[in-house]
Structure 1
Amino acid sequence: MDMFKIIWFLIIFVSIVSVEVAGRPAVTGSEEDEELEKQLKLLNKPASKTIKTEHGDIIDCVDIYKQPSLDHPALKNHTIQMEPSAFPEELRGHGTPLSSSNLMEVKPRRLTCPRGTVPIPRIQKEDLIRIRSLPKTTKANTYNPSDNDIHVTHFADCHIREDPTNHIYGASAMFSIYNPKIATIYDFSGVSIWIQNFQGDKYNSIRAGWIVNPNLYGDNNTRLYTRWTVDRDDQTGCYNTLCPGFIQVGSVPLNQVLNQPTHGDLQSTLDLLVFKDPKTKNWWLTISKNRILVGYWPSNLFDVLKDNAQRIAWGGFAYSPGNEAALEMGSGQFKSNDQENTCFAGGLQVIDEFNLYRDPSKFTIDAYSDKPACYGVDYRGNTTGEIGYNVLFGGPGGLKCGN
């Protein structure tokens, strides 16, 4: 099997890490072990330095020009962009300062790698074993409320209504951080910004947020994550850097644990910005408006998302397989107008064609929960002086949700 065939074989496995698993992961036979070792050699590039974090993660400092994402066939001759050509700017006189005194932004840890290298989480054999145990896809990570095949991943969000006249070039939000309870290794729960485009049967999306996913990470910690797809998670796309695609340029590893503050009643937040570079058309991910660079998705990975987005969503999701009771989303409770106890996405803004921040008021905003009996959603518009344009979402899950 040549290199690209092995890579795309792995992509298919990795892109289905969020589905129902019927049995316990197991590896049998020397041939299977040999195949695992081949895949590990392809994914784990030589490192000039290795860092073990306090949470047991192994991070390799890999030559930026030899990172595994460049193995993607579409990126064979890709020239790495080291920083955006321009960052989005506030519309003069329209900036909305967020002044809630009980918020503390959690800035993901930046690792000290040698110059010219980037931090790439090492993939270990047990990670691939979990992936290889998965029997089928369920398109569990495709987000579109009109899809009838979404029956195991629940959503609660607010979104800009899909419209072919929308020309959106990014979005930002600050999410409150929680650690929802997970019932089994096969469950996951998290929050996201969704950057999306639909065209007939085509669907492209980029996601960024935090997630608790033991099948992906091997623990129940709340972690930074990204995900992308160009075909409704059918054959393409994956989390973080687990398959070729996302180009890492900053010093923030994508799998890192988001530690919450221990300062009394302060609410920890994760501030994210995804935006399209006005010159290169690459989709950038940065942490907060302090412009902490993480990396980007090259524009030529996409087809209908190559130019702009027509739909943006902010909110939460929760997955539990089969006949299990649905699990917690967000803080595990929902109280309308109570941002201290309910998960929120605040400071909601979109990026326009002039690379300017705009509030969502110029668009039609819908609030949606596929299971309102157990997950609430409350789009509150602009609560001036607190968290700007915002949405509250989440809930306890339970048997009443059903699958």
Structure 2
Amino acid sequence: MNSTVAYCSTEDAVANTTAGYQSRGLLGDTFWHGVRANLTVWKVYDVQPRSSSGAYISVVNTEGEGIEVIGAGYHVNPRLYNDTKVHFFTYWESTHGNTTGCYNELCEGYKESKVADLYPGGRFGAPLSIYDGKQRTLTIMIKKDEQSGDWSLYREDHDRLVLLGWWPKKLFKYLSEKAETIQWVGFVSHDSNERSPSMGSGHPPTELEGKAAWFSDCFGLDESGEVYEDNYDPVKYYIDRPDCYNVSEWYVSDEQEARRHFFYGGPGGCSLPK
């Protein structure tokens, strides 16, 4: 199992596949202090008992001998919830020294805000995104608090900014200062005895808006906590099964510079990685 994607996978899954983008900033010179995106939320119908499928944004630091990750998004994960519903999730991990971290609030770490209106592990009710129809979206942001050094999680899709919670600075050795990489990623994981599930809408990114799953308004926050306006130099992230899943090009709208977006996903049906 690839350690760089294990944090959004079933713990002992054999195969982990992702499709999305990551950025280290212009020529790698930008240290990220946050990531944001608007993403479509889909019901995935073919997730087997030991598999999972979803999408997330994350901040990552790989300095030293380990990896430190903070992520949030949605997934279907029967092993975690004993159902096949769509759940909001948070995650953190630090592998420096003894590996620590967990989904949601299954261990000490994530602190829930008193004004939160979306909770780790909470279900997304109907309606969800409809193929060739109305799209259900979620806008979230992970941002380093420049005063406390904690990493905060916000929701932005109700025409207001709501603090959902935060990860204290003390959980991390290197993320306490900065993130090296930010990511916008769709993912699946599955057991060796199971057929891989669909990713996103279950349709390829070539079908584009309304049919393929997407991330929109993708941007990072710089050292001052402001939206980074320069070239993100994004690179495609771990598309190791293009026969099942893929990602479109990274689009930047001419009319609205901030609308950096891409499409991703696929129908699944893969066995183990080739």
Normalised-by-shorter TM-score class: 0.7 to 0.9
- Give 1:282's aligned residue: 150
Q: Is the 8 A contact 2:204 2:212 kept in 1?
A: yes
Is the Cα contact below 8 Å between 1:374 and 1:400 reproduced in 2?
no
Q: How far apart in 1 are the matches of 2:97 and 2:2?
A: 9
Whole-angstrom distance in 2 between the partners of 1:177 and 1:292: 19
Does residue 251 (structure 1) correspond to residue 251 (structure 2)? The answer is no
Q: Paired residue for 1:158?
A: 21
1:242 aligns with 2:119: no
Instruction: Find the partner of 2:245 among 355, 375, 398.
Output: 375
- The structural deviation recorded for 1:183 is 3.7
How far has the Cα of 1:335 moved from its partner? 3.3
Q: Say if 2:139 is the partner of 1:271.
A: yes
* Partners of 2:187 and 2:199 within 8 A in 1: yes
Rounded to whole Å, the distance in 2 between the matches of 1:237 and 1:274 is 17
- How much does 1:362 deviate? 1.8
Contact 2:199 2:265 in 1 (8 A): yes
CA RMSD of aligned residues (A): 2.9
Deviation at 1:400, TM superposition (A): 5.9
Distance 1:338 1:214, change over 3 A: same
Aligned pair in 2 of structure 1 residues 175, 260: CA closer, same or farther (>3 Å)? farther
- C-alpha separation between the residues in 2 aligned to 1:332 and 1:388? 24
Corresponding letter in the other structure for 1:259: G
Between the two structures, name the one with larger relative contact order (CA 8 Å, sep ≥ 6): 2
Q: What is the CA-CA distance between 1:202 and the residue it aligns to? A: 1.8
Alpha carbons of structure 1 residues 384 and 268: separation in structure 2 relative to 1, 3 Å: farther
SS at match of 1:180: coil
Change over 3 Å in CA distance of 1:263–1:189 after alignment to 2: closer
Cα deviation for residue 315 of structure 1 reads 1.6
Counterpart residue type for residue 80 of structure 2 = L
Code of the aligned partner of 2:82? G
Contact 1:195 1:311 in 2 (8 A): yes
Match of 1:191 in 2: 55
User: Does the 8 Å contact 1:323/1:402 carry over to 2?
Assistant: no
Aligned partner (choices 185, 189, 192) of residue 315 of structure 1 = 185
Deviation at 1:226, TM superposition (A): 0.6
- The Cα of 1:196 is off from its aligned counterpart by 0.3
Which structure 2 residues correspond to residues 72-91 of structure 1 after superposition, within 5 A?
Answer: none
Q: What SS does structure 1 have at the residue aligned with 2:224?
A: coil
Q: Secondary structure at the residue paired with 2:89? A: strand
CA contact (8 A) 1:139 1:233 kept: no
Give, in angstroms, the shift of residue 363 of structure 1: 2.5
Per-residue deviation at 1:380?
2.7
- Aligned pair count? 262
Aligned equivalents of 1:208 and 1:179: distance in 2? 17
- The answer on 1:395 being equivalent to 2:266 is yes
TM score, norm. by length of structure 1: 0.60
Structure 1 pair 327–280 and aligned structure 2 pair: CA distance change class (3 A): same
* Cα distance per residue 1:29-80 (max 9 Å; x no partner): xxxxxxxxxxxxxxxxxxxxxxxxxxxxxxxxxxxxxxxxxxxxxxxxxxxx
Q: Which secondary structure state, in structure 1, belongs to the residue aligned with residue 62 of structure 2?
A: strand
By how many angstroms is 1:351 displaced? Answer: 0.6
Give the C-alpha shift of residue 274 in structure 1.
Answer: 0.5
When the two structures are superposed, what TM-score results if normalisation uses the length of structure 2? Answer: 0.86
Distance 1:367 1:139 in 2: 18
Q: Distance in 2 between matches of 1:282 and 1:234?
A: 21
Question: Structure 1 residues 183 and 143, CA, compared in 2 at 3 Å: closer, same or farther?
Answer: closer
Query: How is 1:70-109 mapped onto 2 (pairs within 5 angstroms)?
Result: none
Q: 1:121-160 maps to which residues of 2 (within 5 A)?
A: 139=3, 141-142=5-6, 152-160=15-23
Task: Assess if the C-alpha contact under 8 Å between 2:205 and 2:213 holds in 1.
Answer: no
Q: Secondary structure at the match of 1:336?
A: helix
Q: Structure 1: which 5+ runs fail to align?
A: 1-136
Please tell me whether residue 363 in structure 1 is matched to residue 232 in structure 2. Answer: yes
TM-fit CA distance, 1:318 = 0.2
In the aligned structure 2, how far is the partner of 1:388 from the partner of 1:233?
A: 40
Q: Is the 8 A contact 1:214 1:220 kept in 2?
A: yes
Q: Is the 8 A contact 1:139 1:234 kept in 2?
A: no
Asked if structure 2 preserves the Cα contact closer than 8 Å seen for 1:170 and 1:350, the reply is yes
Aligned equivalent of 1:261: 127
The question of 1:336 aligning with 2:200 is answered: no
Q: CA deviation at 1:229?
A: 0.2
Asked if structure 2 preserves the Cα contact closer than 8 Å seen for 1:187 and 1:214, the reply is yes
Secondary structure of 1:379's partner?
A: coil
